[in-house]
Amino acid sequence: MQKFFVKNNQIEENIINIIEEDVNHIINVLRLKREDEIQICNQETAKNYIAKIVQYDKEKVVCKIEREIKSEVEPKVNVTLYQGLPKADKMELIIQKTTEIGIKRIIPVSMERSIVKLNEKDSKKKIQRWQKIAEVAAKQSKRDKIPQIEDVINISKIYSNINEYDIFIVAYENEKQIKLKEILKKYNSAKNIAVLIGPEGGIEEKEIEKLKQSGVTTVSLGSTILRTETAPIVITSNILYELEN
């Protein structure tokens, strides 16, 4: 059954109005008709409903709530990914796959070795596209929350954010002593975790030193060097696997 997201203002008592791009998808792509049922999730409350299509036009699809259903797909551990800006196609892959896994929030980070440099205009367009990719991936994986893709920040802004989390982890290829598994065992009750992954060229040593001074924990992800688009998938999977259980 297809799943769609709505906001509070699209729900009036037992009626839900689906609008914008989803209208075309329902009518022209899926070719759904009156009396067909779909799953609808209020992305602001994470409540899920089975609803029946009662009417539609080019502007909206009107659905009547049949029943509320219980859903427990969202992880109990909140993982925020600070991703060093990679090339566009890599960022899209990272957003898609970490959304499927269960990431809560993704914050693109401009770093010393970032190949991609975005001005304000380009950044806004990218964020809009990346947010849409997160939405599509959330629908496909039947999540109840769409991860928030935030504005691009400079790495210097991370230093003041570290205390927001139970632990802030940086995957660093030159870390030989501290393993991710060890840290997750130590912080096995953590519910709010941040992860920083460097761009294609990795993280500069001076950036690592400043991060360490601010209180981050550098970890090794294993004996091999992972690509910037592989590392966030691996680390998010491991965190949620270890701490959800």
Q: What is the dotted CATH code of the domain comprising 3-69?
A: 2.40.240.20
Q: Which residue has the tokens 């935030």?
A: 150
Q: How far does the chain reach from its first CA to its final CA, in angstroms?
A: 28
Query: How many Cβ atoms are within 10 Å of 228's Cβ, its own excluded?
Result: 22
Query: Bridge partners of 42?
Result: 6, 47
pTM: 0.88
Q: What ranges do the domains of the chain cover? A: 3-69, 78-244
Query: How many Cβ atoms are within 10 Å of 189's Cβ, its own excluded?
Result: 8
Burial of 194 (0-12, 13-18, 19+ CB in 10 A): buried
What the block records as the tokens of 162 is 């570290």
Asked if the domains 3-69 and 78-244 are classified in one and the same CATH topology, the answer is no
Pairing type for strands 148-149 and 105-110 reads: parallel
Looking at CATH, the fold of the domain delimited by 78-244 is given as Alpha/beta knot (3.40.1280)
Q: Rounded to the nearest 5°, which phi and psi values hold at 102?
A: 135, 20
Of 105, 82, 212, 218, the residue nearest 157 (C-alpha) = 82
Long-range contacts of 45-50 (CB under 8 A, 24+ apart): 45/8, 46/71, 46/74, 46/144, 46/145, 48/144, 49/16, 50/1
| Residue-level pLDDT at 71 | 86
| Residue-level pLDDT at 245 | 67
What the block records as the tokens of 208 is 């690592």
| Residue-level pLDDT at 87 | 82
| Residue-level pLDDT at 42 | 95
Q: Which residue has the tokens 């091999």?
A: 224
Calculate Rg over the CA atoms of the chain. Answer: 20
Of 154, 149, 174, 171, the residue nearest 216 (C-alpha) = 171
Q: How does pLDDT run along the chain (245 residues), one tens digit per residue? A: 889 999 999 999 899 999 999 999 999 999 999 999 999 999 999 999 999 999 999 899 999 999 999 988 899 999 999 999 988 789 999 999 999 999 999 999 999 888 777 776 778 889 999 999 999 999 999 999 999 999 999 998 998 889 899 999 999 988 888 999 999 999 989 999 999 999 998 899 999 999 999 889 999 998 888 999 999 999 999 999 999 86
109 in helix, strand or coil?
Answer: strand
N residues, the chain: 245
| Residue-level pLDDT at 124 | 86
CB 178 within 8 A of CB 152: no
| Residue-level pLDDT at 1 | 85
